[in-house]
Amino acid sequence: MKPFRLAIFASGSGSNAEAIMKFFEHHAIIEVALIISNKENAGVIEKAKQFDVKSLLINKEAFYQSRAVLQILQSHGISHIVLAGFLLLVPDYLIKAYPDKIINIHPSLLPKFGGKGMYGMHVHRAVITAKENESGLTIHLVNEHFDDGEILLQVKCAIETNDSAETLAKKVLQLEHKHYPRVIADWVGHS
Ligand code: GAR
């Protein structure tokens, strides 16, 4: 068992989770030990299987009303939590149990286009509608508010006049796959 064990929380297709599992597959001290999803048909469940990583489905009500998820994390020896397209607000009991040990990626230059309801394509559509000339990604620590903790990295990309929400999403996602795994490695290494 490696000294640092990550749980990835994801609700969607899981392309970031995949990039992270690939990056840490043969890492010396960090491993992805668990995938947690709140969506039954999320692509991330299939990706976990491909990497032989255990996955677990959680129920939204139970997530907020009981501490079963915390017990599961502890029983798996999870040291750090990585949010990768996870759409639920992290409950206080998890933030208290993992202080500065929960990280998130957001597909805009926070604080712009962040907050409740701002996720995935909603973000990119809002950025295009606002006629921004740049967007990008933000990697930050998680606190009790949506998209609000200490920022560890922002990476920008230009928006061309012919960009749509879809082409912008692709550009930002590519940057996410490139930067998120190495930022996680640095963060875990310094914690
Ligand atoms: C990513 O673009 C991530 O930044 C975003 O959801 C997408 C998940 O894609 N997260 C948020 O919007 C959080 N507010 P993936 O499932 O392919 O990794």
Q: Which 3-state string (H, E, C) describes 96-125? A: HHCCCCEEEEECCCCCCCCCCCCCHHHHHH
Which of 9, 15, 82, 178 best tests ligand 1's pocket when mutated (most atoms within 8 Å of CB)? 15
In angstroms, what is the C-alpha Rg of the chain? Answer: 16
The rounded Å distance from CA 110 to ligand 1 centre is 14
Closest residue by Cα to atom 14, ligand 1, is 119
Q: What is the pLDDT of residue 37?
A: 97
100-131: per-residue pLDDT in tens?
999 999 999 999 999 988 999 999 999 999 99
What CATH class does 4-107+138-154+177-190 carry? alpha beta
23-33: per-residue pLDDT in tens?
999 999 999 99
| pTM of structure | 0.97
**Residue owning tokens 């970031």:** 16
